[in-house]
Amino acid sequence: MRILLTEDEENIRLSVQTCLRTAGFAVDAAVDLSDADKALWVNAYDCAVFDRMLPDGDSLRYVARRRSRGWPVPVLFLTARDQIDDRIDGLEVGDDYLVKPFANVELVARVRSLCRRGAAAPSPVLRFSDVELDPGRHLALRGGVPLELTGKEFAVLQVLVAAGGETVPRKELLALWDELVAPTSNVLDVLMLSLRKKLGPPQLVHTRRGVGYLLR
């Protein structure tokens, strides 16, 4: 799932980026509303996280304008403004409102909830061979045994299972990261080694050299 984070305070922006990426989300970062506009022009997002007050304006008004034109992406506002009126304003325009300082685990839970809410329909349980994935509960099983997967490992396996044995190109899998990951990066290869180890024998994930990966 891909998230747009708009936050002008560098320390908070980097902390939230790291937190969400560790949880398995692809995160594109913007420092103001102008940056956010550019990102929204070229990318589709499952959720957007906005700091309330940004250098070039109030993100609440920005989101309200977009919503008036039918923009459907779920929005979480991050803010130090904790008055009841502020919370009500945020919830009337956006979908959730989190006051700084906040716990990272709560942020991840709220973003994941918004991504599910924004989906057109509940994610079905996916199966391939003896692997079963329940995206709604973030549960993965092989042979009925739960797998301890990271967020990114789960996301990659979900794409492979959904492909039903067809080859998934490297480029498509790398898109699960974010725009900072270069096509020549080895992050996917490292993840696949870990995923194969966790899936155990017999080997399920196979490589088509120079093309991508598939389940067989």
Which pLDDT tens digit goes with each residue over 25-82?
A: 999 999 999 999 888 887 889 999 999 889 998 999 899 888 877 788 999 998 887 7
The C-alpha angle with vertex 166 and arms to 156 and 126, in degrees rounded to 5, equals 55
Whether the pTM exceeds 0.95: the reply is no
* Architecture of the 2-118 domain: 3-Layer(aba) Sandwich (3.40)
Alpha-carbon gap, residue 138 to 133, rounded angstroms: 8
- The residue extents of the domains of the chain are 2-118, 126-215
E strand or H helix at 16: helix 10-22
CATH of 126-215, one of 1.10.10.10, 3.40.605.10, 3.10.620.30, 3.30.470.10: 1.10.10.10
Q: Which residues face 99 on adjacent strands?
A: 79
